[in-house]
Amino acid sequence: MSTDELASKTAQICLDGNFLFVDETTGSDETGSGTKCTPYQTPVAAVAVIVSMPEEKQASFKIAVKKAGEAEYVEITASALKKARKSHEIAAKKAKKQAEQSSKDKEQNEAKEAEEQRRLDESKKVVLVEDASLAVAQQIRIQDSVKNRNTRVKVFGWVHRQRVQGKDMMFIVLRDGTGHLQCVLTDRLCHTYDALTLTVESAIAVYGEIKEVPAGKTAPDGHELIVDYWHVVGKAPGGDDSFANRVNEESDPSLLLQQRHLVLRGDRASSILKIRARVMRAFRDHFDGNGYFEVTPPCMVQTEVEGGSTLFEFDYYGEKAYLTQSSQLYLETCLPSMGAVYTLSESYRAEKSNTRRHLSEYTHCEAEIPFISFNDLLDTIEAMVKGVVNRVWDEPTTRAMITQVNPDFKPYTEPFVRMRYEEAIKWLNDNGIKRAEDGKDFEFGDDIPEAPERRMTNTINKPILLTHFPGPIKAFYMPATKEDPRVTESVDLLMPNVGEVVGGSMRIWDHDQLLAAFQRQGLNPDVYYWYLDQRKYGTCPHGGFGLGIERFIAWITNSYTVRDCCLYPRFVGRCQP
């Protein structure tokens, strides 16, 4: 208690026989006043009040204590009083020392703040002027810095990291989206107001020459910019609203999603998006190099492909319409005019699956190929995955980014495992993996859930082309096999740590069989007249597949969730930013 608090308590005392009362059970040192009605809890509190009185009054006050479990107050024993006085003396000395230290700290902080303010005031007088006698600086991007060493350059970017070394040296790691560049500022360059108040994520311009770092030193690309002039383009806030206070490694995942626009500036997030860009280009290069044509189907449709329960419905000028679940049906219409075709476009699924591998909006790589067999389709999928991976792996900058986020990744060169659905059911049962709903063995016709499928894939630890699924658990357009009409010419490509990445099949190419499939599914064939016409005017055997780009990226980058593999993820409960 402070001196003022003790004096206040002393003034309020209304005692019985000059006793201060202590009740170890019901008393309170914080709110008690020493009366029987409001006793203290410890003798130390009573002693503190007595010693705060004038000396001539102290001897007239005594302490009565009611111990836990006792009914009456009794005068404190001499030994207990001595112990309480000792405890009070120790506490008083500690409080005095803390007060002195607090006062000292306050004086030091005030002096430090005054010195800091003096430095800031002085810094406003320091004005930097570009030296006109130097060579004109050529503006470059950081990715071009190696070939521009020993040349005066100008670089724009954002402060990724900064470190002050004394009063006359500052290191800034600059980021411009193409790379990172260490910049060294010395002397007057560090004394300006902007230098003293510079914050992470501020946009700046730096001028100077790029020099190799001395032996034994490290920096991005092995060099650093020796700055001779710089200025702020757009300063980021500091204090409570600083970048580090908005997002950091300890932030809750939901907050990171809400601040996704800031998270994207981080090393891993930006690397994944760059890898994604290179992967998208590699898919296009693969298809273009194999004679496919790219098409851009509509995303507003009036048909379903993968079941009506996952359709996003909206009003289209008074008509019912949906966001596309897949562009497959439209790709099939291009076969007679363009041959093999593909698309890289968005698909939408209104399934309320809040898992790490589901999105409501995702980038869908889809392809359709005419005049092929089911085995041809399997070969095509395997060749595509291997070909795309090799393309990005053969690019040094992309390989470096992949290695940075997933050091263990290596292109898969062996043949993919080919396993029939029935073999997968047997594998699950042989390995003691049961159905979650009843704890029993899996049976033919069961749709294998994500968890058992992932466990099987991770245990085998190889890409698996899982084929020949039963018709009832697959889409209406998948044809039954001739040798076993219970199963379809269908395939899922399963990747370790991710699960299903590709889904594909041959397509029913007989008009009457497709019409019967519509009827089984309860679909109105009139809405699909244009799709049925493909079987009417020169039908042919054909097949195709769809690959989820986000899942493919998750596999390459070893990302826990596909939400990290797109710009702004959309899923149940998340449509911002």
In percent, the amount of the chain with pLDDT more than 70 equals: 97
Say if residue 90 is exposed, middle or buried (CB neighbours under 10 Å; 0-12, 13-18, 19+): exposed
* Residue found under tokens 């991976």: 389
Amino acid present at 14: C
Q: Model confidence at 95, in pLDDT bands (50, 70, 90)?
A: confident
More confident residue, 116 or 136: 136
Q: What is the pLDDT of residues 98-128, one digit of tens each?
A: 888 888 888 888 888 887 888 888 888 889 9
DSSP category for residue 52? T
What is the pTM (predicted TM-score) of this model?
A: 0.80
pLDDT digits (tens, 9 = 90+) for 528-546: 999 999 999 999 999 999 9
**Beta carbons of 61 and 34 less than 8 angstroms apart:** no
H/E stretch holding 539 reads: none
pLDDT digits (tens, 9 = 90+) for 400-412: 999 999 999 999 9
At 489 the pLDDT is 96
Residue 15 has pLDDT above 80, yes or no: no
pLDDT beyond 90 at 37 = no
pLDDT at residue 394 greater than cutoff 70: yes
pLDDT of residue 13: 45
Question: Does 318 score more than 70 pLDDT?
Answer: yes
pLDDT category at 228 given cuts 50, 70, 90 is very high
Residue 296 has pLDDT above 50, yes or no: yes
Q: Is 221 left (phi over 0), alpha (psi -120 to 50) or beta?
A: left
Contacts of 87 (CB under 8 A, 6+ apart): 44, 47
pLDDT for the residue 14: 45
Contact (CB, 8 A) for 368 and 335: yes
Per DSSP, 445 falls in state T
Cβ–Cβ under 8 Å, residues 501 and 495? yes
Residue 87 pLDDT class (50, 70, 90 cuts): confident
Distance of CA 287 to the CA centre of its chain: 31
Task: List phi, psi (to 5°) of 489.
Answer: -80, 75
Res. 262: pLDDT tops 90 = yes
Element containing residue 392 per DSSP (H, E): helix 374-393
How far is the C-alpha of 47 from the C-alpha of 287, rounded, in Å?
89
The answer to whether 492 and 478 have CB atoms below 8 angstroms apart is: no
Note the pLDDT of residue 308.
Answer: 62
Instruction: Give tens-digit pLDDT for 338-388.
Output: 999 999 999 999 988 888 888 999 999 999 999 999 999 999 999 999 999
Q: How far is CA 205 from the centre of its chain?
A: 29
Q: Give strand pairing partners of 316.
A: 319
Q: What percent of the chain has pLDDT over 90?
A: 67
Sheet containing 19-23: order of strands: 19-23, 62-66, 74-75
Q: What pLDDT band is residue 5 in, cutting at 50, 70 and 90?
A: low
Q: How far apart are CA 394 and CA 407, in angstroms?
A: 16
Note the pLDDT of residue 395: 95
Q: How many residues does the chain have?
A: 577
Backbone angles phi, psi at 440, to 5 degrees: -100, 170
Does the pLDDT of residue 4 top 80, yes or no?
A: no
pLDDT at 16: 54
Order of strands, sheet of 293-294, starting from the edge strand that comes earlier in the sequence: 293-294, 341-348, 361-370, 542-548, 499-506, 490-495, 464-467, 417-420
Mean pLDDT of the chain: 91
- Give the residue with greater pLDDT, 292 vs 121: 292
pLDDT digits (tens, 9 = 90+) for 465-500: 999 999 998 988 999 999 999 999 999 999 999 999
What CA–CA distance (Å, rounded) separates 15 from 383?
95
Rounded to whole angstroms, the Cα distance separating 535 from 516 reads: 13
Structure confidence by residue, pLDDT tens digits, 186-222: 999 999 999 999 999 999 999 999 999 988 888 999 9
Read off the pLDDT of residues 427-447 as tens digits, 9 standing for 90 and up: 999 999 998 888 899 999 999
The closest alpha carbon to 302, from 524, 546, 510, belongs to 524
